[in-house]
Amino acid sequence: MALPGLPLAGRRVVVTGAAGGIGAAAVSAFLAAGARLVGLFHSTPPPDELREQCDWLACDARSRDSVTTAFDRAASILGGLDVLLNAAGTWRPGSPESLSDDAFDLIIDANLRTTVLTNQAAFEHMRHSGGQIINLGSSEGVRGNPLAPHYAAAKAGVHAWTRSVASAWGTFGITVNALAPAVRTPGADRLWDHLGEERAAAFQQNLRTAMPLRGELGDPQTDLGPVMVFLAGSGARFMTGQLIAVNGGLLMLGA
């Protein structure tokens, strides 16, 4: 039973890509909500402010062997697994006409393959007791992006995968949903750098026009964190296969 003010008390959670960006925000939000947590990280080490607050395991989420080993160890530490928040991924720019095989493979592996492998590993630990899986999609996977077509394709794949496994795994009591956030992350910083000062300023001005709420990217902790906690808690037990936009109205999803 969740305690008042601690909606995730007793929940056993794994967060991938947990050392930075949305993953680190999820770790902070889940811990504040009372969860027991293992954070998985790859090239970015855990931040100092979170290092002692939970257990951390190294994991290359693109590798099936690494993922299987990390999830088995995490489930052993936690005594099981109730929630996966998969935040492993990265954004890189690229043009459709000159996209190289290496650039394509890097983004597909980092965003789509990591989703498939981590979801499969979570399923093995949830299949007998149920659980909740939260993936990270993107508005770019809905609308496309000429500045990063491979990223848009990868995220569209995440959306389709999420709906597919939600349909397949519902009979096991497992929900699978995805988020389409528009928040400040290292990926957003890479976009600004790629655009350059003048085009970045124009892009931000367009945000002020196109985003009804606030007109600027949200904060991963305060704007996205509560939604992640909700999807990991009992209030979301009858939701599955959904893409939920947390983006100030920049993308409004409908049927």
What pLDDT is stored for residue 1 in this prediction?
Answer: 45
- Give yes or no for a contact between 51 and 250, defined as CB atoms under 8 angstroms apart: no
pLDDT tens for each residue of 54-78: 999 999 999 999 999 999 999 999 9
Burial of 208 (0-12, 13-18, 19+ CB in 10 A): exposed
pLDDT tens for each residue of 110-125: 999 999 999 999 999 9
- Give yes or no for a contact between 227 and 204, defined as CB atoms under 8 angstroms apart: no
d(CA 81, CA 12): 5
Per the structure block, which two tokens stand in for 162? 């999420």
pTM for the whole structure: 0.92
d(CA 30, CA 43): 22
- Give yes or no for a contact between 195 and 203, defined as CB atoms under 8 angstroms apart: yes
